[in-house]
Structure 1
Amino acid sequence: MTLAVFFGCAFIAFGPAFALFVFTVAKDPLRVIILIAGAFFWLLSLLLSSLVWFIAVKASNSQDPSLPRGLLIFGVFFSVLLQEVFRFAYYRLLRKATEGLAAISDDASSAISVRQMAYVAGLGFGVMRGAFSMINILSDSLGPGTVGIFGDSQYYFITAALMTLALTLLHTFWGVLFFEGCEKSSWWVIAVVVSLHLLVAGLSLLNPLYEGSLPPVYCITLLMGIWAFFSSGGSLQNLSALCTRRKVEAESS
């Protein structure tokens, strides 16, 4: 049973991200490099936020009973803000790299567009975030122990996997929207991305009240996916053409 829980939760949490990597990233070495670098930037934000949280713990009064909850809230929101700062730093780095590649290219064009970089960088952020949030949970799912034996929720592992899936996709969508906002100097878009990131982080603090956190997070994921689709150049005509093409291919086969 523990193996079924392990593989089931792993496929839920990382299956879509793995599919995106295989079909859209793996065949292009430049995209792979951008994804790995994006994951590294997320790691840097985590390292710095962990250092600040450690200093805050040491500087606080350990006798205060409300301290652990307060430090948790502080750490979560500070980490979110730091992730967005590093996302902007990564955008600036990629923009400089794009200008350099265009300068040495024969046709003065870059090998990858900003929208493609935004998507791959966001996926890198999301994959690394999901790995850090889920790896210990997957390890615990192998046992020994019985979930819920002391009255806790029996749906802990599945809800953790669903939350990891949502946040992985959200980071991908946020990456597209954040880079688009930086390109067009639409600071309100960046503000919306940061605000929704803070909101999702706040909703996660409601756990184990999963019915209060998961449905809003998935509603936000759906809205961000639609927004990112149209922001990256998608349209209803594209969807209609795709459906028509698939239907013709199915009929011809």
Structure 2
Amino acid sequence: MGTLLTISCYIFTFSPSFCIFCRFIAHDPVRIILFFLGSFFWLVSILFSSLIWLLLSQILPKPQSFFLAISTSILIQESSRIAYFLLLKAAQSGLNKITKQGQISVAPGVSDLQNSRHMLGLVCGLGMGVISALFLTMNAFAAFSGPGTIGMPEALLKSTVDVNRAGKYLPAFYSASALLLSCFHVCWTIMIWDSCHRFGRMPTAYLPGFAALITHFAVAYLDS
């Protein structure tokens, strides 16, 4: 029963991401690379966030260090999106230099960044969203499958979170949270990249990026 529950949770969580991947990414090798590169950028941002949290936990009391670490992690994640955009923009410039006029680019998905930045934002944001959803759920889903799971939070092991908050619907809540998180990362990446592309050209270019940052903070603190 636990195994069936775990499989069901994974299917519920990652079905939308799988459909998007099959529809927009799987047919293009360049997009597949960009998808996994997005996951790599998110992992690097979480690595730096973890180091900062470890440092803050040694200096500040736990509540203050926790919320400060969350804020720092959000800023680092959004900075990684900007860094990813700048990397693709630099790759676009290099590919345009080696591609002759009228010739098909060796990597059309990258060299056409100006015209397909929203699609590339979807591809790269989905990579970030899938890996973040996996990090959010894998320990909890492992606990649902049976006892003896290493790395579970103490509250879950003692069923305190289950009893006081979600009850029998805890697996569904975890799955829904991870599903929404993957979708949020797609939206945040598209919004940040749109602001980066239009920065300096339009007076309102910062609005999508600012909205992405505010909603990221809101989601993080509501979930905490």
Smaller-chain TM-score bracket: 0.7 to 0.9
Residue in 1 that maps onto 2:143: 140
Query: Per the alignment, do residues 80 and 2 of structure 1 end up closer, same or farther by CA in structure 2, a change over 3 Å counting?
Result: same
Between the aligned partners of 1:137 and 1:35, the Cα distance in structure 2 is 25
Between the aligned partners of 1:38 and 1:15, the Cα distance in structure 2 is 19
Between the aligned partners of 1:14 and 1:147, the Cα distance in structure 2 is 25
Residue in 2 that maps onto 1:164: 178
Residue in 1 that maps onto 2:113: none
Q: What is the 5 A alignment of 1:48-63?
A: 48-60=48-60
Counterpart among 121, 124, 129 of residue 127 in structure 2? 124
Higher relative contact order (CA 8 A, sep 6+): 2
Query: Per the alignment, do residues 149 and 100 of structure 1 end up closer, same or farther by CA in structure 2, a change over 3 Å counting?
Result: closer
- SS at structure 2 position matched to 1:13: helix
Contact kept, 8 Å, 2:125 with 2:188, in 1: the verdict is yes
Contact kept, 8 Å, 1:101 with 1:111, in 2: the verdict is no
Query: Per the alignment, do residues 150 and 187 of structure 1 end up closer, same or farther by CA in structure 2, a change over 3 Å counting?
Result: closer
Taking structure 1 as the reference length, the TM-score comes to 0.73
Contact kept, 8 Å, 2:162 with 2:170, in 1: the verdict is no
Q: What is the 5 A alignment of 1:32-181?
A: 32-60=32-60, 67-106=61-100, 107=102, 111-112=108-109, 113-144=116-147, 151-152=163-164, 153-154=166-167, 155-181=169-195
Between the aligned partners of 1:172 and 1:82, the Cα distance in structure 2 is 17
How far residue 146 of structure 1 moved from its aligned partner, in angstroms, is 9.1
1:26 aligns with 2:26: yes
Name the amino acid aligned to 1:151.
Answer: V
Between the aligned partners of 1:57 and 1:164, the Cα distance in structure 2 is 26
How far residue 69 of structure 1 moved from its aligned partner, in angstroms, is 2.9
How far residue 184 of structure 1 moved from its aligned partner, in angstroms, is 1.2
- SS at structure 2 position matched to 1:123: helix
How far residue 149 of structure 1 moved from its aligned partner, in angstroms, is 9.7
RMSD of aligned residue pairs (Cα, Å): 2.0
Q: Aligned pairs, how many?
A: 199
Contact kept, 8 Å, 1:80 with 1:197, in 2: the verdict is yes
Map Cα deviations across residues 71-108 of structure 1 (whole Å, 9 max, x no partner). Answer: 22222221111100111011100111112222222336
Contact kept, 8 Å, 1:13 with 1:164, in 2: the verdict is yes
Contact kept, 8 Å, 1:41 with 1:86, in 2: the verdict is yes
After TM superposition, the structure 1 stretch with the greater mean CA deviation from structure 2, 71-80 or 24-33, is 71-80
Between the aligned partners of 1:139 and 1:159, the Cα distance in structure 2 is 15
Between the aligned partners of 2:24 and 2:177, the Cα distance in structure 1 is 23
Between the aligned partners of 1:2 and 1:149, the Cα distance in structure 2 is 18
Map Cα deviations across residues 177-221 of structure 1 (whole Å, 9 max, x no partner). Answer: 21111111111221111111111111101xxxxxxxxxxxxxxxx
- SS at structure 1 position matched to 2:163: coil
- SS at structure 2 position matched to 1:27: coil
Taking structure 2 as the reference length, the TM-score comes to 0.82
Name the amino acid aligned to 2:137.
Answer: M
1:189 aligns with 2:208: yes
Between the aligned partners of 2:220 and 2:95, the Cα distance in structure 1 is 37
Residue in 2 that maps onto 1:8: 8
Name the amino acid aligned to 1:137.
Answer: A
Between the aligned partners of 1:118 and 1:142, the Cα distance in structure 2 is 35
